């Protein structure tokens, strides 16, 4: 199955015309992230039939030159944000990987779907596109991965991500959860939680190729990030 099929099914179930109108106006009149042609990068770099892991974020980074359509990832050359820095710190402690850019395309190509539950944001205004319709769309995406895939690891950091557990069939998928890696909460249980090795242990136990968390790939410049 392909994402296009999933998108078609979702659009047959829900009317997104109000959200489309909102975004059309927002992109025409304000600074919105990510760039329009990058909104769906998470799906572009992780084909549906290759999804092994889902990491849920909330909404895109709202500073310039950061968001490019994948949760927690920033464009190459951009300063690594605090939550991602903490993710990298745990990565070193857990599996010994040192990463040098904030761009997570390598993870996406390994089968990690980096999904923000709200997929656009206005510059400088965190959560500004909450409630415009993205949650309906991304809930359906989570449900589709749960329904049509087998033995996927869902990594859910923080309460908003964990609120999606009812959408996931825990009989055939695995959930890893902890507090969020943000500086406000990372010391309350994120550090030492070993999400990367636990993910790979589960995948290997189900005869699935583990994730190479060390893989670094920089998007082709011609893709305009």
Which residues participate in catalysis according to the annotation?
59
- Helix or strand run (H / E) with residue 139: helix 134-148
CA 24 to mean position of chain CA atoms: 23
Q: Which residues on neighbouring strands pair with residue 157, listed in sequence order?
A: 178
Question: CA 82, CA 136: separation in Å to the nearest integer?
Answer: 28
Q: Is 41 exposed, middle or buried (0-12, 13-18, 19+ CB in 10 A)?
A: buried
- Under 8 Å between Cβ of 142 and 136: no
Cα four-point dihedral sign 58, 66, 185, 155? positive
Question: What are 65's two structure tokens?
Answer: 């030159």
As a whole number of Å, the CA-based R_g of the chain is 17
């Amino acid at each position: 199955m392909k994402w296009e099929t999933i998108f078609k099914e979702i659009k047959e179930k829900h009317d997104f015309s109000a959200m489309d109108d909102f975004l059309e106006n927002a992109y025409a009149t304000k600074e919105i992230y990510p760039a329009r042609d990058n909104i769906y990068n998470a799906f572009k770099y992780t084909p549906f039939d290759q999804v092994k892991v889902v990491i849920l974020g909330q909404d895109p980074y709202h500073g310039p030159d950061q968001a490019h359509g994948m949760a927690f990832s920033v464009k190459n050359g951009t300063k690594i944000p605090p939550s991602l820095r903490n993710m990298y710190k745990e990565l070193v402690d857990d599996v010994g990987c040192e990463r040098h850019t904030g761009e997570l395309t390598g993870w996406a190509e390994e089968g990690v779907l980096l999904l923000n539950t709200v997929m656009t944001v206005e510059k400088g205004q965190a959560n500004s596109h909450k409630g415009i319709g993205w949650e309906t769309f991304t809930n359906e995406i989570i449900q589709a991965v749960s329904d049509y895939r087998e033995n996927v690891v869902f990594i859910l950091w923080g309460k908003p991500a964990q609120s999606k557990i009812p959408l996931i069939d825990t009989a055939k998928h695995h959930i890893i959860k902890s507090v969020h890696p943000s500086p406000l909460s990372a010391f309350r249980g994120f550090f030492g939680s070993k999400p990367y090795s636990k993910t790979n242990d589960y995948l290997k136990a189900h005869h699935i190729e583990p994730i190479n968390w060390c893989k670094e790939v920089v998007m082709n410049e011609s893709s305009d990030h």
